[in-house]
Structure 1
């Protein structure tokens, strides 16, 4: 039946979204946009004061969590389901870049932390939340990958490996849970104006070199990534699953000319 609101499919009214790493950058933009789209939020961040403050601002639920801790994730999933009445949308956004170094030279503890936060956190949390979504017959999982998972890098190799794995995780989850009405997708951002990008964008020489490889000749905004997340979370993306959507201004398709 036709509706007077052509953007209704992008609304999240009556749905609860669990977002990890929501207190800054892309995660913050996603939390704000989802709240504006009508979602009730459950926020999980290692920064307790920031998480509590954001939840108060957005009228959500704060569950401060170190997502690199398996037991903490167990508690998060249990509390999120119990306090919210059920998670409809799961956004695994929390991540760390780790130290810049060749893959063989990274400290073992740094490597283990990187994999725990970037890869094991989405694997564990989707494994805890997806069955509940399936029991309710619907749900959307959004994983934050990166273009670092689509091409090689000389100093963030392990980071790229974790992000490449998230694209495959989205495909596997889509196949496993699709028959129960649960969708899973990933987003691969390029250079986005966040704290992570400051090292590049604060240097005119590095910024010119990096942006010269991007057809749009600019960095993206967290809000542009958040808009893609909203599409994937909402009914607007209802027939999209198992995909990795690249939001990078064309960087990975360019030859730099």
Structure 2
């Protein structure tokens, strides 16, 4: 029960890594608000773990404000924020990615971190404590070709994590990131362009441990970094990648 009596918001919690993180947090005693643009998916996971669900478009200030209000109504305070919601564009030459796709990737992957920080950091400062976890990617450390703007958005997230950590440490707020390798999530097919045995084999060949990451892997890493066991850890981008970045 490493997160007993703690409250947490997990964005993109209706599926994939976000659902895995929410499940682990609940199992470790946290009260969890599961936010997702797909409210039905969030409610399904929330029912399973005894959490609270809400619809949230984290790329909009209004969506973030509604999410934060829902968390405060449910819990009274916010101890942990997990910025997990993310999207990608289909594999393509960098000059061929459309402006709509580019804007969507940076709105969901980057602007959301700014918007949630603007809304939640003042609340954490008032409490003198807090933990923020950004779900980045190995793409921000060891980029794959044809995913240029997705790679760049995750690199941005890693830099944001480090600068937030330095600035917020005196306020008692820790900020870390995890960097998953490709996993069995709804985004996998978009990363690969097509889900075929040949394409999966190509991806797996770059992971020394020889498998994709799982939501459980991310839940375990997230739980550690957001718990008091990691009280001396801030500003890290933890590779949860089976050796992919070596």
Report TM bin, short chain.
Answer: over 0.9
Residue matched to 2:210: 217
Residue matched to 2:66: 75
Choose 153-162 or 191-200, whichever is displaced more. 191-200
Matched, 1:234 2:227: yes
Give 1:129-208 correspondences, 5 Å limit.
129-198=120-189, 202-208=195-201
Q: Answer with 1 or 2: which has the greater Rg.
A: 1
Choose 192-201 or 121-130, whichever is displaced more. 192-201
Secondary structure of 2:8's partner?
strand
In 1, the alpha carbon distance for the partners of 2:63 and 2:203 equals 38
Give 1:91-130 correspondences, 5 Å limit.
91-130=82-121
Shift of 1:20: 0.3
Give unpaired runs (5+ residues) of structure 2: none
Residue matched to 1:4: none
The superposition leaves residues 88-127 of structure 1 with CA deviations (integer Å, 9 ceiling, x where unpaired) of: 0000000011232222222212211111111000111022
TM-score using structure 1 length: 0.89
Shift of 1:80: 2.0
Secondary structure of 1:195's partner?
coil
**Structure 1 pair 205–54 and aligned structure 2 pair: CA distance change class (3 A):** closer
Shift of 1:193: 2.1
Residue matched to 1:30: 21
Residue correspondences, number = 244
**Structure 1 pair 208–57 and aligned structure 2 pair: CA distance change class (3 A):** closer
Contact 2:130 2:172 in 1 (8 A): yes
Choose 141-150 or 107-116, whichever is displaced more. 107-116
Choose 170-179 or 215-224, whichever is displaced more. 215-224
Shift of 1:198: 4.4
Contact 2:176 2:235 in 1 (8 A): yes
In 1, the alpha carbon distance for the partners of 2:169 and 2:200 equals 41
Choose 41-50 or 193-202, whichever is displaced more. 193-202
Contact 2:182 2:188 in 1 (8 A): yes
Shift of 1:202: 4.6
Residue matched to 1:5: none
In 1, the alpha carbon distance for the partners of 2:149 and 2:224 equals 29
In 1, the alpha carbon distance for the partners of 2:105 and 2:186 equals 18
